[in-house]
């Protein structure tokens, strides 16, 4: 992550805070309501401010793998509520971030 601009600093903090919230609150059960909305907003901020052009491809690959593993892992680990809650909470961050980075990447490819 490029650390020189204020937007990247905000995005870095948003990512760190979002992951901590997802891990802690996801471990206690399903994340719903305002917390879920907060995680989605954090994901949007991360997607907009935190991923530089040269980081797009690795982020997209990692994000897609995390989303797929989270979905299948949530189903497979359904007997462990803390695990499925954490995976669902992390998905709330990574789905919007991955979508935004993918859209930014497509527009970047179209410019060239």
Whether residue 42 lies inside any domain: the answer is yes
- Give the Cα separation of 65 and 67 in Å (integer): 5
Whether residue 1 lies inside any domain: the answer is no
Whether residue 111 lies inside any domain: the answer is no
Locus of tokens 């948003």: 14
Percent of the chain with pLDDT over 90: 31
Whether residue 112 lies inside any domain: the answer is no
More confident residue, 6 or 93: 93
More confident residue, 82 or 93: 93
Range of the domain at 93: 6-106
3-state secondary structure of 47: helix
- 64, 99 Cβ separation under 8 angstroms: no
Count: domains in the chain: 1
- 97, 56 Cβ separation under 8 angstroms: no
The band of 100, judged by pLDDT with boundaries at 50, 70 and 90, is very high
Whether residue 69 lies inside any domain: the answer is yes
């Amino acid at each position: 992550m490029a650390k020189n601009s204020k937007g990247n600093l905000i995005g870095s903090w948003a990512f760190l805070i979002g992951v901590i919230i997802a891990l802690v609150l996801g471990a206690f059960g399903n994340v719903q309501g305002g917390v879920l909305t907060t995680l989605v907003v954090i994901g949007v901020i991360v997607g907009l401010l935190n991923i530089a052009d040269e980081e797009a491809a690795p982020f997209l690959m990692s994000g897609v793998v995390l989303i797929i593993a989270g979905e299948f892992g949530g189903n497979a680990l359904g007997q462990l509520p803390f695990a499925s809650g954490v995976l669902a909470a992390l998905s709330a961050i990574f789905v919007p971030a991955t979508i935004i980075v993918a859209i930014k990447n497509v527009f970047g490819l179209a410019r060239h």
